[in-house]
Structure 1
């Protein structure tokens, strides 16, 4: 399988499979979520289980009338109850994917992380992966963590990398090139994450993450621009050709995410990883396109090994 080169190619791949993933949507009460549902129905890539709370059934019924075979409504007494019910639908195999609508992320995550009835396996680590199609970069770019883990520990870095590498492979990138990001190439005790990077590189060289290329610390420009690496005298399969960027903290990852969308005209997608099924938790400020492509990413993440 060749790696996907564009978000449109990902959509087309789902369409030709002729198999709709079942998506449980919590509180689909806002225009962006409605847009995602209607577009996915038009593209014939998903079936929806709309879990609505009291007083918000009208929009769901409108969407059901438009596509009665592929839209099903479940009612709950409150947003928290809707989140719990949607998680249960995923846990029991009625749905394949969980998606956030108009509900506070913290409320949804309480249901996802519930120790008895949630979606995170015992001892698992929840993380977030984003993917971007940037006009001036030659392939899709993955990066973590821009949304969940504030300052990864060594174990959390391992989980993030395992999760991201697994997703890359499902999308056809069998030997991902991973850049461990910092503001320079120097390892220093002043920046403990650079010491973690050295440990991760050693583990990668011993096969801990399967077939990958891993290098760092390096800055984002070096990771994505070969000329910058040449000027610095750096030679690595990762330099100028990264598939995955690993950020040292949530601030830098989130700033990168918001910057490439605002100033770089990037289209993005994102999802939670580490859970037993894909979870789409878009930001309130994400565009309708971003939320749609996030659902596409989750559908492919759950389909590739079928």
Structure 2
């Protein structure tokens, strides 16, 4: 019997991607010499939350103001071996009150950013988005993951994967605007960022709302309703990030293969995409919520040290960019 030939040799060499983390270090370097961001750290009652604040303080990125039950904060610091002597602590009874007090500090100009501690994101944001909140700007709040992965040639923003569950056209327009503002805060190229509006397919299908929204966003950009960016969509993920995939499908696009921002159709798509990049591809990533008068820095207990520092560095750069706007 003739031996079957395999299309690939058994000892085929491994595919390797190299991640140098140069963008991460460049981001921290861009913050060097800038004053730290006075940051209300909300309900930091465990070692992870306090450690995140301590690491960012060590790097000169933030001056933490700890907002929460003082006894629990002190116990967590002692347990984690974290020296918080000299740190300002604003005592509250519980996490709800901590979120409210942090928002009040930001509204009064006593904090330039709000940072998530040991509480849920919706609880943290509740007093910020409350009716008549002084932190509202008239723009929808949205979250941006700023990601550096070995499989892509530059920083990539994925939005929104945390705040807006099923955004409509008006919300997506604000999500674009927020992402553009964030991109400009750390990018000095002088060019307009490219936004790929993602969907399952690259054609407009009346039965798929994401494709209709994508087409409308493109026309809004053409008419100046969304400014300072280049938008194209609908684009499936492959023909958004790969110019070769786009060419094979006959797509001519100024965005394909080179997007700076991926606008996802809903929170599930965004959350899965961002976490796949961070947990499987081991990408560096930071998360910021924009749309309020101050940035909100998000980090979860599963996040790496790089993720926490990127979030804080983005907050510093966004503050300074705001001064020149």
The two structures have a TM-score, normalised by structure 1, of: 0.90
Equivalent of 1:279 in 276, 293, 296: 296
Conserved? CA contact 1:111–1:118, under 8 Å: no
Q: Distance in 2 between matches of 1:57 and 1:255?
A: 33
Does 1:151 pair with 2:151? no
SS of equivalent to 1:55: helix
Does 1:33 pair with 2:53? no
Q: Which runs of 5+ in 2 are unaligned?
A: 1-21
Does 1:266 pair with 2:286? no
Partner of 1:11: 28
SS of equivalent to 2:67: strand
Conserved? CA contact 2:198–2:237, under 8 Å: yes
Shift of 1:54: 4.8
Q: Distance in 1 between matches of 2:208 and 2:132?
A: 37
Q: Which runs of 5+ in 1 are unaligned?
A: none
Partner of 2:206: 189
Equivalent of 2:152 in 116, 130, 137: 137
Q: Distance in 2 between matches of 1:228 and 1:249?
A: 23
Alignment of 1:91-110 (within 5 A): 91-110=107-126
My pick for the range that moved more, 91-100 or 276-285, is 276-285
Alignment of 1:28-177 (within 5 A): 28-58=44-74, 59=76, 62-65=82-85, 68=86, 71-117=87-133, 119-121=135-137, 123-172=138-187, 174-177=191-194
SS of equivalent to 1:64: coil
Q: Distance in 1 between matches of 2:288 and 2:322?
A: 18
Q: Distance in 1 between matches of 2:266 and 2:175?
A: 12
The 3 A distance-change label for structure 1 pair 118 and 56 is: farther
Shift of 1:229: 1.7
The structure with the largest alpha-carbon Rg is 2
Shift of 1:212: 1.9
My pick for the range that moved more, 145-154 or 284-293, is 284-293
Q: Distance in 1 between matches of 2:73 and 2:271?
A: 34
Q: Distance in 2 between matches of 1:109 and 1:118?
A: 13
The two structures have a TM-score, normalised by structure 2, of: 0.85
Partner of 2:318: 301
Q: Distance in 1 between matches of 2:252 and 2:45?
A: 51
The 3 A distance-change label for structure 1 pair 46 and 261 is: same
Q: Distance in 2 between matches of 1:57 and 1:206?
A: 51
Conserved? CA contact 2:194–2:255, under 8 Å: yes
Q: Distance in 2 between matches of 1:51 and 1:63?
A: 16
Does 1:240 pair with 2:260? no
Task: Output one character per residue of 1:189-233: Cα deviation in whole Å (capped at 9) or x when no partner.
Answer: 110121121111111122222232211111122211222122222
Conserved? CA contact 1:33–1:288, under 8 Å: no
Shift of 1:142: 0.5
Partner of 2:236: 219
Partner of 1:20: 36
Q: Distance in 2 between matches of 1:247 and 1:128?
A: 12
Q: Distance in 2 between matches of 1:117 and 1:178?
A: 30
Partner of 1:231: 248
Q: Distance in 2 between matches of 1:118 and 1:100?
A: 19
Q: Distance in 2 between matches of 1:52 and 1:126?
A: 24
Compute the RMSD of aligned alpha carbons: 1.8
Q: Distance in 2 between matches of 1:213 and 1:220?
A: 17
